[in-house]
Structure 1
Amino acid sequence: MKEELVNDSFYIGFEGQPEILILFDNLTEKNILKMWNGYFETLLDLMCQYEPSNEGILHEYYAHEGWYEESPWEIQNLDAAIHLFKSFDMSKLTGEQIENSENIIPALPEVAQRISTFLEAAKSNGSNVYIVYD
């Protein structure tokens, strides 16, 4: 049986609220990044304002497809997803965007960094990555 390695540091304090799991596995372990859906959706919503949303994760989010329709949903282009989360840039946000999400904005750079690091680990393992929406 595979050992489950769960990083839920972005879900602590939000127990019982909707969650997103990003996961990959190899022969011996299953790696899970568990976070509050509010962090994930706010991050994607903000990036939709300055990144093209015609493909990949932003397209799935904007169209409410992908993990919203089928779960688990496989990230098809891991390189593009890594680039997307590495490109999160607070300086591209407007004052209004910051005000509308001021309680969680301070955590978003770390959330984006943690997601990109997690995706890079999956890529280096040659693993497929899935998003599970609950």
Structure 2
Amino acid sequence: MIGDYYTGFEGYPEIDFYIKIGEKREVIRIWDGYFDNIMQKIQPNDDGWHSLAYYYHLDEGWYEDSPWKIPNNKDALQQLQTINIKLLDKKEQIILKEIINLLKENLNSDIYIEYS
């Protein structure tokens, strides 16, 4: 377990970011409310939504096919790094930093998002 930001929110939707290491999963567990607030801080570029925000706003990707492999870790990382961290509360800032670190440390690995 990398981080648990879901405990205390049992019964509500959960988002897990994880990588597989053999049979083990390194996971960041997140209450959907924290994740929603983070994703809403991403601004579209001139061409509209892309990367994770594209799938988030269309309720596709991990919402339809869970677990869902992030198609381009570099694009997802770059997009999350554009968020103005000052717009997030302290817990959401910590979560965003953990997701960014997971992506940075595993750019060439399969990273999954699971929605439950």
TM-score (norm 1): 0.74
CA distance in 2, matches of 1:68, 1:9: 20
- Residue by residue, what CA displacement relative to the aligned partner does 1:56-112 show, whole Å, maximum 9, x if unpaired? 100000111111111111111101111222222045x5xxxxxxxxxx733222211
CA distance in 2, matches of 1:105, 1:18: 20
Name 2:112's counterpart in structure 1. 130
Same amino acid, percent of matched pairs: 27
Runs of 4+ in 1 over 4 A off after TM superposition: none
1:86–1:113 Cα contact (<8 Å) kept: no
Number of aligned residues: 114
1:72–1:133 Cα contact (<8 Å) kept: yes
CA distance in 2, matches of 1:90, 1:132: 24
Q: Does 1:105 pair with 2:89?
A: yes
Gaps of 5+ in 2: none
Please say which structure displays the higher CA radius of gyration. 1
CA distance in 1, matches of 2:64, 2:50: 16
TM-score (norm 2): 0.84
Structure number with higher helix proportion = 1
Q: CA-atom RMSD, angstroms?
A: 2.0
Gaps of 5+ in 1: 1-5, 94-103
